[in-house]
Amino acid sequence: MKREINLVCDKEHMDERAQITEQTMIPLADYLDKLMITREKGNDAIRAYRIRNFLRTKLNGISLIKLSKITKINYKNIQNWLCNSKRDVGIPIEELVEISTILGVSREMLFNETKYFGGTNTKKYKLPRCITPKFAYLLGYIMGDGHLANPSDKISNGSMYNAEIRITTNERHHLEYLQKIFVELFGYKPPLFKEKEFYRLIGRSKVVHRFLDKICGIPTGNKKEKTVIPKIISGNKVLERYFLSGFFDSDGSVVFANGKIRGLRIKQHNKKILEQCYEVLKVTGIESVGIYTDNGLRNNKITYGYVLAIQNQRDIKKFIDNFYSIKIQEKVQLMDEKPKHIAIIPDGNKSD
């Protein structure tokens, strides 16, 4: 009979988890400028929503007509953005920053008040203000099996911004877990699709796509030569560990034989990210790690790749104890002996 693994930590580890959660909520700096998009025909700007009432309190007697003259923004637009109508049409971020400056609103205050984003007639998204372990895990998974479309690639609906976010795996439950993280971070649940033996999570959101690209540093288009640990988490030991957890669950594999985990592997075209992963592993005391060349043949063409391998039993156990991994949890459930505990991603939630 297979032994079920209890994923709930004991009190000692619950206390440790709470401490990690508090220490790893790293605030993001003001990123409004990075959300700005130069508008062209068929390419709408990202807009801020639920901000007009705040701006109206800062008018201090300035009429909308006068504000239009000062900013040289069309009065009809000013009226649409700031009037007290039932429908909030949002304000393009570039113009929002300009209007706020005229009204004497500091950038810090504006960033704190601006929380909801979208396009014209699109869903509204709430973007993260902190980097949490779940956030880092998601970035790791996207860096592995994910793909952000090149924004300039043409798409059939005529939009000038290709905002597709795609993650592909043969494990549906992995994508269902990622869906939950998307909902927690963005208030958005990308749909899942089945294609032969694979499952795809496919999101289309200019707001989320640009956030992942410009703020988080996830490369767009062909990322084979661009995979790295993002700068926004680089240097933070805990967040790097959860990034590697997500990266392992996407591009890693577990060698399992005779009821025992015999090895852990991550294969990549880009050797640089494996070298960065090795440094993250060293921090947790995992040092018997090898990186070797693993070239292959595909469609009669040579493919070039590298593999990071952990094969020492002591280091495998350290990885199990220190890294969250859905793949490893599944394998551990087949083992007769369970590890001391299995790492759980802190949710990073913080009461307002």
- Domains in the chain with CATH codes: 11-26+128-332 (3.10.28.10), 32-121 (1.10.260)
CA–CA separation, 134 vs 156, rounded Å? Answer: 33
Q: What is the pLDDT of residue 290?
A: 92
- pLDDT number for residue 47: 96
3-class SS string, 253-266: EEEEECCEEEEEEE
pTM of the model: 0.87
Cβ neighbours of 309 (radius 10 Å): 19
Longest dimension (CA), the chain: 78
Q: What span, in angstroms and rounded, lies between the C-alpha atoms of 314 and 321?
A: 11
Phi, psi of 173 (to 5 degrees): -65, -25
Output phi, psi for 227, to 5 deg.
-70, 120
pLDDT at 13: 36
Q: What is the pLDDT of residue 19?
A: 31
What is the structure's pLDDT at 221? 95
Give the pLDDT confidence score for residue 20 in this predicted structure. Answer: 32
How many other C-beta atoms are found inside a 10 Å radius of the C-beta of residue 267?
Answer: 15
For residue 200, give the H/E element and its range. Answer: strand 198-204
pLDDT, tens digit only, all 352 positions of the chain: 333 333 333 333 333 332 334 357 889 999 999 999 876 665 689 999 999 999 999 999 999 999 999 999 999 999 999 998 889 999 999 999 999 999 999 999 999 999 999 998 889 999 999 999 999 999 999 999 999 999 988 776 667 789 999 999 999 999 999 999 999 999 999 999 998 889 999 999 999 999 999 999 999 999 999 999 999 999 999 999 999 999 999 999 999 888 888 999 999 999 999 999 999 999 999 988 999 998 776 777 877 889 999 999 999 999 999 999 999 888 777 665 455 444 556 655 544 4
CA 301 to chain centre: 33
